Amino acid sequence: MTATLAMSVMSAQTAHAQSGAGADKLVRQISVEVIDTAKADKAIQDGDIGRILALVETKVMPHVNFEVMTRSAVGPKWREASAEQRGKLQAEFKTLLVRVYSGALSQVRDQTVEVTKTLPVQGSTQVVVQTEVRGKGEAIKLDYRLDKAAADTAWKIIDVNVGGLWLVQNYRSQFATELGKGGIDGLIKTLIERNKSAAKS
């Protein structure tokens, strides 16, 4: 309830916010909520992947723009994909990304998250919000790239940087290899296989 209220207040704010002002609030809200829930939930601490996936689905995924992410990762070949292929690519890539994020989250023990900087990206409406996950030993860098579909809509995450690695950009080169080998259908097939075998392990 409070979250929805906060979201609607935030959306109203972003209507006339300077670039980035709403974005870092959103990131802070997501990070703090997710980490606090992960720390408090015993089942998650024990590594229950189902619970982690559920947590990520409810708290993080509503704020992610999967279509833009999939488009960016697939690259120019996206234009040649049919609507059905696009749907499949998006669904499989979403499953993969949720798994990546959940895998990282399952290793949270007693860390805290700090939003360190918010930077606009020159020449676009994007914003990069930098955070640090601090705990024992070295701090881990975790950045979010956000964009708005239109001036009065909410910020959505379109890429995540874990320790220096922009995930969507990284997957772009992974996808490029697969697209070269088997085209769009080959890529879909590989993604489906990868998700199936990951679900089993």
Partner 1 sequence: MSARQFAPRLLTSRLGGVLLLCAALLSAGCASVPSSGTVSAASAGAATTGDPWENWNRKVYGFNEGLDRAIIKPAAEAYEAVLPRLVRLGVSNVLGNIGDVWSTANHFLQGKMQVGLEMGMRVMTNSLFGLGGLLDPASEMGLTRRSEDFGQTLGRWGLVSGPYLVLPLLGPSTLRDAAGFLVDRQAATSTLVSGDAAKYSITALELVSVRAELLPATKLLEQVALDKYSFVRDGFLARRRDALFDGAPPLDPANADPGDSAPPPAKPAAAPTARPAAGPASTSKIPAKPAPRTTP
Residues that bind partner 1 (CB under 8 A): 65, 67-68, 71-72, 74-76, 78-87, 90, 96, 99-100, 103-104, 106-107, 117, 119, 121-124, 126, 128, 130, 132, 134-139, 141, 145, 149-150, 158-159, 163-166, 168-178, 190-191, 194, 197-198, 201
**Considering the complex, what minimum distance in angstroms separates the CB of residue 11 from partner 1?**
15
For partner 1, which is the closer residue by CB, 2 or 153?
A: 153
Q: How many CB atoms lie within 10 A of CB 167?
A: 18
For partner 1, which is the closer residue by CB, 2 or 146?
A: 146
Q: How far is CA 172 from the centre of its chain?
A: 15
**Considering the complex, what minimum distance in angstroms separates the CB of residue 66 from partner 1?**
9
Residues 26/154, Cβ–Cβ less than 8 Å: yes
Say how far apart CA 55 and CA 66 lie, in whole Å.
Answer: 17
Amino acid at position 162, single letter: V
Q: Nearest 10 degrees: CA dihedral of 30, 152, 143, 112?
A: -20
For partner 1, which is the closer residue by CB, 34 or 188?
A: 188
**Considering the complex, what minimum distance in angstroms separates the CB of residue 24 from partner 1?**
16
For partner 1, which is the closer residue by CB, 2 or 18?
A: 18
Helix, strand or coil for residue 186? helix
For partner 1, which is the closer residue by CB, 10 or 127?
A: 127
Task: Render the burial of 46-60: b for 16+ CB within 10 Å, e for the rest.
Answer: eeebebbbebbeebb
**Considering the complex, what minimum distance in angstroms separates the CB of residue 166 from partner 1?**
7
